[in-house]
Structure 1
Amino acid sequence: MSKTEGGYWKRFVRRLTSDVAELDADDLSDRSQAGGAQRASDCRCGQEAVVLGRVRSVELCPKTSAPTLEAELYDGTEGVTLVWLGRRRIAGIEPGRIVKARGRIAVRDGRKVLYNPYYELQNTA
């Protein structure tokens, strides 16, 4: 058996024995790296980062006089919260959408955050 055949069978068996969430996380992680983005788990506070993943949730937070729109982006390794200050809604930012975001990583309540990130909506295919 050649080296590539062993790799094929290993991947095949893994796909048969893994749960759907684990396979989805692997696919997201692969897509993120193929899209030229960093893995969210590798990003550090203060670092300029590009992340690519699926929006899990979107929430309007009217905590102060200025509203904030928050979206949780998951890339298969870890989540990053995208926060747009002063926004109530952004067309295309919705659960299930693939988004590539760029900005400086901050940490809020122990979670990674990008404030007012530059973003690109990606094709879901």
Structure 2
Amino acid sequence: MATAEGYLRRLTRRLTEDPAQRDVEELSDEAAQTGAQRAIDCQRGQEVTMVGTLRTVEANAKGCASGVRAELFDGTDSVTLVWLGQRRIPGIESGRKLLVRGRLGKLENGSKAVYNPHYEIQH
């Protein structure tokens, strides 16, 4: 009987909770399962490994004269990925899930960034 009640409670929660909040929780849980660091905990100068979803991807973005800039969100914070000297990178597109490695820096506006990160596309 408790199993049926638990199932009904979980189903009701899934139907009534905010889908964006559920996505945030799933991304955060997935990052924890892979052993990746949470973006919110990472500090400038630190070597990082993060898992997240690309929210936006821009080629030749403002402030990035010849490069690709993408926003990676892991459920806790966003980090800008910058590939200098690239016009396009196959597989780097909005909605794609990535595992990235690199040294965390900052953009001119103070937000977190990783320049020329190593990346693996996750499925």
TM-score band w.r.t. shorter chain? 0.7 to 0.9
Structure 1 residues 44, 64: closer, same or farther in 2, change over 3 A?
A: closer
Task: Tell me how many residue pairs correspond in the alignment.
Answer: 122
Deviation, structure 1 residue 11? 5.9
Deviation, structure 1 residue 110? 2.0
Letter of the structure 1 residue corresponding to residue 87 of structure 2: R
| CA RMSD, 1 decimal | 2.6
Letter of the structure 1 residue corresponding to residue 121 of structure 2: L
Q: Secondary structure at the match of 2:95?
A: coil
Q: Secondary structure at the match of 1:24?
A: helix
Q: What is the TM-score when the length of structure 2 is the normalising length?
A: 0.85
Gaps spanning 5+ residues in structure 2: where?
Answer: none
Asked if residue 111 in structure 1 is aligned to residue 111 in structure 2, the reply is yes
Runs of 4+ in structure 1 deviating by more than 4 angstroms, as ranges, are 7-14, 62-66
Asked if residue 20 in structure 1 is aligned to residue 19 in structure 2, the reply is yes
Alpha-carbon displacement from aligned partner over 1:4-35 (angstroms, at most 9, x marks no partner): xxx98886665344200000000001011111
Distance in structure 1 (CA, Å) of the matches to 2:39 and 2:7: 28
Q: Secondary structure at the match of 1:15?
A: helix
Partner of 1:122: 122
Deviation, structure 1 residue 107? 1.3
Gaps spanning 5+ residues in structure 1: where?
Answer: none
Distance in structure 1 (CA, Å) of the matches to 2:22 and 2:51: 17
Q: Secondary structure at the match of 1:34?
A: helix
Equivalences for residues 1-125 of structure 1 within 5 A? 14-61=13-60, 67-108=66-107, 109-123=109-123
Distance in structure 2 (CA, Å) of the matches to 1:65 and 1:122: 26
Q: Is contact 2:61–2:69 with CA below 8 Å preserved after alignment? A: no
Q: What is the TM-score when the length of structure 1 is the normalising length?
A: 0.83
Letter of the structure 1 residue corresponding to residue 117 of structure 2: P
